[in-house]
Structure 1
């Protein structure tokens, strides 16, 4: 049964102080206002898009100034439409897509495109790193394996393929560091977004000296590290005149979008695990006591200096759902019906769902999808069901690695458009994970997380005492289905082991 809950509040009933929350994603920016109880103020959501360039060679990039222009459009619109509300804004917070990098010149202007985590062109450079550096030692220090999503491989790739361009770069910046430099003249990056680069020492919370030395990368070529409780003040011109109500309020250093999603979902301790399924998917939890030794297959990022974010991510999520619907000419209702009416693992297929390579837990960018056991008797419904179940098995592989650090009765909170539009997938997740899975009412989860962290920083509330996020639905594991899925997971494991000769 749905719990009584309102995730929004009218402009007349909203209680100050307000937080302006900025959510900078893969291809769009959202700006919206929240009140002191982290309720979205109705009518204040503004969105602007920017182009993402992709290509079959693995390209995934945009331009830093395109992101800046989209953000400015959102702030211009809010100023024009809601100036009376902006007067009550006590802080500006933000989250951004993580693992971004852009090369800047001596005037802090872009020389390179803004590369995002999904760009896989440095695949050969990942192998170079593995041949020249001790990956396990580096992984234990940084919490990140060698992978195309992270900066070390990106840096080697750019030096190899565009050496003259790479040599002109004076500073490497994440998108949040670049935006704050434009607004305030200071090139600073939060510990959160710095941790997603793969070069931050997770123990000392400083740039990792051995790795920087191996990369021939000087610390002054990187932004200054900062944290959420060290906001920026005093917008530069022309921004101060353009947004007068925001010129003097504190702007918190932006955090990674995954960290914000955990906070916004109420998953701020090992008692609650966030399962986010958007274009891709991730399963992660927050803790103030990260393990000294991190299990291979996970990563460890930061939310703040106090809170670590541990988990894993897949390249597959809603993107594979969209692929299946296009390929088999199905709509969302068709897929929901398939998952609701068919027996668990009733098709006999075994799938390795690596349509876009493997991230967690095996970190094999060259892995490709496999469908095993296909016969003339199988139907599109069989294949679609098997694909979505197979992705859930990969979530379980991540969950198993997280389990030693979780509360005994830890529950899972699902979010993201793919789960919200296909709740039967959440039911499968509950059966596969053998844990309850809750789905909150639809809400801008990451933006809410930004607002909660800002309110915590202001002292208006604490994350531990944040307003709960009641659930619209809760799914409990069904023993018979769970048993079938345990056997199916073993089939997937064996197939992966046979094809790749590597334990995952």
Structure 2
């Protein structure tokens, strides 16, 4: 690819679809960007889904917009498309690529009963070690058991079982194709061999023919899209990789010395490296970026969504909130907050978990609650970090990304103090999209993504006294979690059992 060539990057998230342009050095091209927001359908029964047809139209509209914004010169120099998207999404489709169900997203918890049932029927630890995924409603084993119970007629038809990108690939190129990365997030892939786990498929009554074949890239658009996008008709589209792994890749966190800390709607702390861990700790997962590199970490179901919930529902002055948060000393609100409003993934994977606040008095203010909530999220990141220390020790710093987190120096300092490690601001703009662009450049043989560097900004260093206070608060938070979540006194399970 000549130095004036470009790669496009699609970033398909659970709240927006974005399309961006990067140059041959993986630098974001300013002003060439499309952002199309959407909102999943959410309901009290645990529903968290979206319409795959509407989302597909958004993807094609985003590509339209990217090509228009790029202009004729850049458009003619597009050499590849990279794709970042969410893990764990599931839909059923027919052989022609028509969706037969909604797209069930990671936060859909309706399969919690099936997850609990699977834990009693399978060797949960063995499944975790083989696949890197836990028996939890986020992953396909529980979702498939739920789908079989809810729609037995559909199940008997043996539909294709696809991630969203698998469906997109079928419509653009004429057949479903997944990536090792996307397959590893289903909970059905045997990580060591990069093949579908036959024992698990047999138990779930799934035929391998229902699943897409893992591959690397598609090329040669079907006629409809070759006519619509002539500049892309013979350009390789690198199969989608998980946005979490790509966030590490795009922010140059590519070995155990640096961990990527991401706060978006949810949150995650991850290590990307070449190899697989000998053993995956119980509160962590392991997926693949590709056949060579794995990502190990933990995901929090509560991150920016908790911050948004607090500021939306509490009477706080947004304009002065950051300044007032910075003035507060650590762990002085008198509150203990279990931040499980959207259930729990790492480290406890209690899908039935709900949130709670202990210690409220007449003197408690809205600001106290916001501060306690942000501290609680930082403490949860600390719990994940300690698990990572068990399997991949030696991290010298964490590199943070996510607009809401980076916009709050107060929250950044809470992270450093609670975790007990330096936390640096990532300067990599659009880390997941940049990671997709780098993967596309690797596919073209133009770069080694492990050697590309990205800058960091301000580094927040832990205060020893504050870290000590957070250590004590962690014990209180874990005890409240044990009483209210592990004992299920504040869980959906308890509520439904009472009925």
The alignment's TM-score, normalised by the length of structure 1, stands at 0.93
Query: Which one of 357, 366, 372 corresponds to residue 352 of structure 2?
Result: 366
Q: Which residue in the other structure is 1:4 paired with?
A: none
Q: Per the alignment, do residues 122 and 421 of structure 1 end up closer, same or farther by CA in structure 2, a change over 3 Å counting?
A: same
Output the CA distance in 1 between the equivalents of 2:140 and 2:186. Answer: 5
Q: Pick the aligned partner of 1:444 from 400, 410, 430.
A: 430
1:500: how far off? 4.5
Structure 2 CA distance for aligned equivalents of residues 408 and 109 of structure 1: 48
The alpha-carbon deviation at position 498 of structure 1 amounts to 3.5
Structure 1 residues 212 and 63, CA gap change in structure 2 (3 angstroms): same
Match of 2:451 among 458, 465, 469: 465
Deviations 1:226-247 (A, max 9, x none): 2xxx322111111011111111
Counterpart of 1:149 (choices 104, 129, 138) is 138
**Compared CA separation, residues 324 and 501, structure 1 to 2 (3 A):** closer
Aligned to 1:214: 203
| 2-structure distance, mates of 1:453, 1:309 | 15
CA–CA distance in structure 2, aligned partners of residues 332 and 397 of structure 1: 29
Select 1:175's aligned residue among 158, 164, 171. Answer: 164
- Checking the alignment, whether the CA contact within 8 Å between 1:58 and 1:120 is kept in structure 2 is yes
2:102 aligned with 1:102: no
Moved more, 486-495 or 78-87: 78-87
Runs of 4+ in 1 over 6 A off after TM superposition: none
Q: 1:500 to 1:241 in 2, by over 3 A?
A: closer
Identify which range, 242-251 or 435-444, moves more after superposition: 435-444
Aligned twin of 1:42 = 30
Counting only pairs closer than 5 Å after superposition, residues 77-476 of structure 1 correspond to structure 2 as 77-81=65-69, 82-226=71-215, 230-441=216-427, 443-466=429-452, 468-476=453-461
Aligned partners of 2:316 and 2:366 also within 8 Å: no
TM-aligned CA distance change 1:200 to 1:337, over 3 Å: same
Name the CA distance, whole Å, in 2 between partners of 1:441 and 1:308. Answer: 23
Partner deviation per Cα, 1:317-363 (whole Å, 9 max, x = no partner):
01110111122222444331232101110122212111111111111
Counterpart Cα distance in 2 of 1:367 and 1:77: 41
Matched, 1:494 2:483: no
Deviates more, 1:110-119 or 1:70-79: 70-79
**What 5-or-longer segments of structure 2 have no aligned partner?**
488-499
Task: Report the aligned-residue RMSD.
Answer: 1.7
Q: How far apart in 2 are the matches of 1:426 and 1:317?
A: 13
- Identify if the C-alpha distance between structure 1 residues 501 and 60 changes in structure 2 by more than 3 Å, giving closer, same or farther: closer
**Structure 2 SS opposite 1:287:** strand
Unpaired segments of 5 or more residues in structure 1? 1-13
Please give the secondary structure, in 1, of the residue aligned with 2:14.
coil
Matched positions, count: 486
Distance 2:428 2:438 in 1: 17
Q: Is the 8 A contact 2:87 2:185 kept in 1?
A: yes
Deviation at 1:501, TM superposition (A): 5.1
Give secondary structure in 1 for the equivalent of 2:32.
coil
